[in-house]
């Protein structure tokens, strides 16, 4: 009887110890999905810095700028007039007398092809400048999407680390329950497996984060650690972007410059169909047959004009005309596509905003109460499996909410891109 009472007292002590350990375990808070450590102005300041570095250091833009400098130099020396041909000729005539001829010839393109050629060279340079603007526009949005993805990965890492921390805090409770005989050894095995699985998940997310940071660092000239330090407290929701409205979409501006180039090439092809007028002037000196006679002197004036009866550069003119027609069709087609993209993307953006707002109200705001109920149930004696199931569901809800945020950011960027707006730097 006394032994039975002692055993009961011992079991009661273990139960009280377990209850005290569980009671001392503070409630775990969920990292709020919509909290920001930086103000939007701070986020914009960092984005302006990184975008500026990207626009300065990106390899594709460097190559395009070097090509532009080359085209400008080519345009400055193109379109020169043909050189004057200078000739000298010595003839030996019979009876033995000599004749010297010194002459010059100049060719004048009647169609003005030198001027047209210079126009083409200048238009090439302007087209390259439009291409740089278009490339900068596209790279800017590639950077913003990559930066948003990096911010999303950082938040995913934080949520996964929070789950791992919460799992490790369950260890003393499980140990107390094991001593009290309330759980079997298999529970600890499942606990260690869950911790290892979550650790590997964190490592995988960290590797993805490092790759994204390395990519941005390659564009900006920063190390991955420097990039991560700048995005440390950012989330896709914190990227409240301000854009400058475009007068014309950069892609349409590039196609318009391309049309201008093809017009200049058509005028050059038409100018090449005109004949080239040649003028020649020569001085002639002929030796006298005898010493008593004076030498003969004279001038020779000539003109040459080929008649453009059969060859008028018809092939080159037709090719240039076809290119111009194709560029006009492409311009109108791109206009229609951009208009359709604007309407489609605007509708998608409005839909994702409604979904995000509804999900935040119906799910995100209820997660603290759900976690509190799961903790109360675990303290009341529910199994580790039930608690982990609920907690992982909470994390999945937050991960889905984070994906909704990134999707909303992507749709916003696509909408601004469709309108041709650029990020205010």
- The confidence band for 23, taking pLDDT boundaries of 50, 70 and 90, is very low
Is the Cβ–Cβ distance between 106 and 279 less than 8 Å? Answer: yes
- Name, of 143-152, 158-167, 367-376, the range with top average pLDDT: 143-152
What pLDDT score does 247 carry?
A: 83
More confident residue, 191 or 254: 254
Residue 123 has, within 13 A of its CA and on its CB side, a CA count of 21
More confident residue, 18 or 107: 107
Residue 44 has, within 13 A of its CA and on its CB side, a CA count of 10
- The confidence band for 82, taking pLDDT boundaries of 50, 70 and 90, is confident
What pLDDT score does 425 carry?
A: 52
- The pTM score is 0.76
Is the Cβ–Cβ distance between 367 and 398 less than 8 Å? Answer: yes
Task: Please name which of 201, 172, 174 lies closest in space to residue 190, comparing C-alpha atoms.
Answer: 174
More confident residue, 171 or 280: 280
Q: Is pLDDT at 80 greater than 90 in this prediction?
A: no
Residue-range domain boundaries for the chain: 36-338
More confident residue, 389 or 122: 122
Tens-place pLDDT, residues 184-202: 567 777 788 888 988 998 9
Q: Is pLDDT at 236 greater than 70 in this prediction?
A: no
CATH entry, 36-338, from 1.20.1600.10, 3.30.479.30, 1.10.287.40, 3.20.20.100: 1.20.1600.10
Q: Is pLDDT at 122 greater than 60 in this prediction?
A: yes
What pLDDT score does 28 carry?
A: 40
What pLDDT score does 12 carry?
A: 28
What pLDDT score does 183 carry?
A: 59
- pLDDT (average), residues 292-310: 83
Q: Is 359 exposed, middle or buried (0-12, 13-18, 19+ CB in 10 A)?
A: middle
DSSP per residue, 20-88: HHHHHSPPPPPPPTT--SS-HHHHHHHHHHHHHHHHHH-HHHHHHHHHHHHHHHHHHH-SPPPPPEEEE
Distances (CA, A) of 87 to 80, 91, 328: 21, 13, 49
Q: Is pLDDT at 181 greater than 90 in this prediction?
A: no
> What residues have CB less than 8 Å from 289, skipping those under 6 apart?
95, 97
Is the Cβ–Cβ distance between 380 and 22 less than 8 Å? Answer: no
Tokens of 385: 């499996």
Tens-place pLDDT, residues 388-420: 888 788 888 888 988 888 888 888 888 888 988
More confident residue, 380 or 55: 55
Chain mean position to CA 60: 10
Mean pLDDT estimate for the chain = 81
- pLDDT (average), residues 33-42: 46
């Amino acid at each position: 009887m006394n032994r039975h009472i002692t055993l009961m007292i011992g079991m009661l002590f273990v139960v009280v110890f377990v209850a005290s350990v569980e009671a001392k375990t503070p409630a775990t808070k969920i990292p709020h999905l919509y909290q920001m450590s930086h103000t939007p102005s701070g986020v914009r300041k960092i984005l302006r810095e990184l975008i500026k570095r990207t626009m300065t250091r990106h390899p594709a833009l460097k190559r395009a700028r070097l090509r532009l400098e080359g085209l400008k130099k080519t345009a400055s020396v193109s379109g020169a007039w043909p050189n004057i041909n200078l000739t000298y000729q010595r003839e030996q005539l019979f009876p033995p007398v000599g004749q010297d001829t010194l002459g010059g010839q100049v060719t004048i393109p009647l169609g003005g092809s030198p001027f047209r050629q210079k126009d083409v060279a200048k238009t090439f340079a302007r087209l390259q400048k439009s291409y740089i603007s278009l490339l900068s526009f596209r790279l800017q949005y590639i950077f913003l999407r990559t930066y948003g993805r990096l911010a999303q990965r950082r938040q995913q890492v934080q949520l996964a680390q929070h789950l791992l921390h919460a799992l490790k805090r369950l260890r003393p409770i499980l140990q107390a329950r094991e001593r009290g005989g309330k759980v079997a050894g298999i529970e600890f095995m499942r606990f260690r497996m869950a911790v290892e699985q979550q650790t590997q998940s964190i490592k995988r997310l960290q590797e993805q984060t490092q790759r994204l940071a390395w990519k941005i660092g390659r564009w900006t000239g920063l190390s991955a650690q420097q990039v991560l330090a700048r995005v440390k407290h950012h989330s896709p929701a914190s990227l409240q972007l301000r854009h400058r409205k475009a007068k014309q979409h950069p892609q349409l501006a590039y196609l318009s410059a391309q049309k201008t180039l093809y017009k200049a090439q058509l005028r050059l092809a038409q100018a090449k169909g005109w004949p080239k007028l040649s003028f020649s002037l020569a001085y002639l000196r002929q030796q006298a047959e005898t010493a008593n006679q004076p030498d003969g002197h004279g001038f020779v004036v000539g003109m040459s004009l080929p008649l453009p009866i059969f060859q008028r550069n018809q092939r080159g003119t037709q090719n240039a005309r076809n290119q111009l027609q194709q560029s006009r069709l492409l311009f109108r087609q791109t206009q229609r596509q951009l208009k359709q993209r604007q309407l489609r993307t605007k509708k998608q953006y409005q839909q994702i905003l409604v979904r995000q707002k509804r999900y935040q109200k119906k799910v995100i705001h209820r997660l603290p109460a759900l976690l509190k109920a799961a903790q109360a149930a675990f303290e009341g004696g529910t199994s580790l499996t039930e608690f982990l199931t609920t907690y992982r569901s909470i994390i999945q809800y937050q991960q889905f909410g984070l994906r909704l945020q990134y999707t909303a950011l992507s749709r916003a960027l696509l909408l601004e891109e469709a309108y041709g707006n650029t990020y205010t730097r």
